[in-house]
Amino acid sequence: MNIIRTSSYEEMSMQAAKIIIKQVKNNPALTLGLATGSTPIGLYKELINDHHNNGTSYKDVHTINLDEYIGLPKDNPSSYHFFMKHQLFNYIDLPIEQTNVPNGTAEDLERECERYEEKIRQLGGIDLQILGIGQNGHIGFNEPGTSFESRTHIVQLTENTIEVNSRFFNTIDEVPTKSITMGIQTILECKEIILLASGASKAKAIARMINGPVSEEFPASCLKKHPNVTIIADSDALQLV
Ligand code: F6R
């Protein structure tokens, strides 16, 4: 694991943006894996600014998001479809039909999981995947105990995740209890991974990922098995390492 320590959230976002922009320039048809949540918002702002100021183009890029809540329509402001449009897709020249987020309202959710895996295969796999990390070590919505062999699947969210994510909803009762997520095996097959973390609330999880054992009880620990992972984190998130 490479570790890039930054002095602030802004610097973490800039460093991540630099890597993505370089890769898009080298390979304009890059397949880019994306995450939602608070952590990548600054990165997406950097990509938007760079697109406007320097003209980096995403017209041949395809994107694959990690996850989506089950039961939220795409136009629900708390859905990850909505998040991605409003934090990134609407502001760069990426054709919307080249973006992929699991459909949490599909009639047949098992079929949707298979379709998503098939889509990733058709695209030749994910070249570069951006990840955040949950306080309980989840990546995507792969909660503690998820098999390292899992592929895109349906999960029951833990109480911890529901509580932490309730900040994006009016009340905790509105937070869906299930989601679709890319599996651990799907994530491990990405050619390159960048995990972002900021703030003291992530310090324990980051320390356990870096220094703890590889175990399904702590999903992010699987990344130690991957040959090309870079952690970009600020000093608050790295304070226990
Ligand atoms: C989001 C995702 C989650 C988040 C994690 C951290 O697509 O897959 O694993 O990355 O919950 O969320 P934030 O960034 O809000 O702390």
Give the model confidence (pLDDT) of 167-199 as tens digits.
999 999 999 999 999 999 999 999 999 999 999
Give 80 Cα–ligand 1 centroid separation in angstroms: 11
Rounded Cα distance between 39 and 89, Å, is 17
Instruction: State the DSSP H helix or E strand holding residue 69, giving kind and residue range, or none if neither.
Output: strand 67-69
| Closest to 81 (Cα-Cα) out of 102, 50, 106, 51 | 102
- Compute, in angstroms, the gap from residue 134 CA to the centroid of ligand 1: 6
Instruction: State the pLDDT at residue 238.
Output: 98
67 has catalytic annotation: yes
Q: Show me where the domains of the chain are located.
A: 2-234
Specify the amino acid at residue 12.
M
CATH domain 2-234 topology: Rossmann fold (3.40.50)
| Ligand 1 center–CA 132 separation, angstroms | 5
- The answer to whether the CB of 66 is under 6 A from ligand 1 is yes
Rounded distance, CA 236 to CA 104, Å?
34
35 lines ligand 1 (CB under 6 A): yes
Distance separating alpha carbons of residues 47 and 52, to the nearest angstrom: 9
At residue 62, the pLDDT reads: 98
pLDDT tens digit string along 24-46? 999 999 999 999 999 999 999 99
206 in ligand 1 pocket by Cβ < 6 Å?
no
pLDDT at 176: 96
Active site residue 143: yes
Radius of gyration of the CA atoms of the chain, in A: 17
Q: Of all atoms in ligand 1, which is nearest to the CA of residue 65? A: 7
The helix (run of H) or strand (run of E) holding residue 109 is helix 109-122
What confidence score (pLDDT) does residue 29 get? 98
pLDDT digits (tens, 9 = 90+) for 122-139: 999 999 999 999 999 999
pTM: 0.97
Q: What is the pLDDT of residues 96-129, one digit of tens each?
A: 999 999 999 999 999 999 999 999 999 999 999 9
User: Which pLDDT score, from 0 to 100, does residue 120 have?
Assistant: 98
Mean pLDDT, residues 202-226? 98
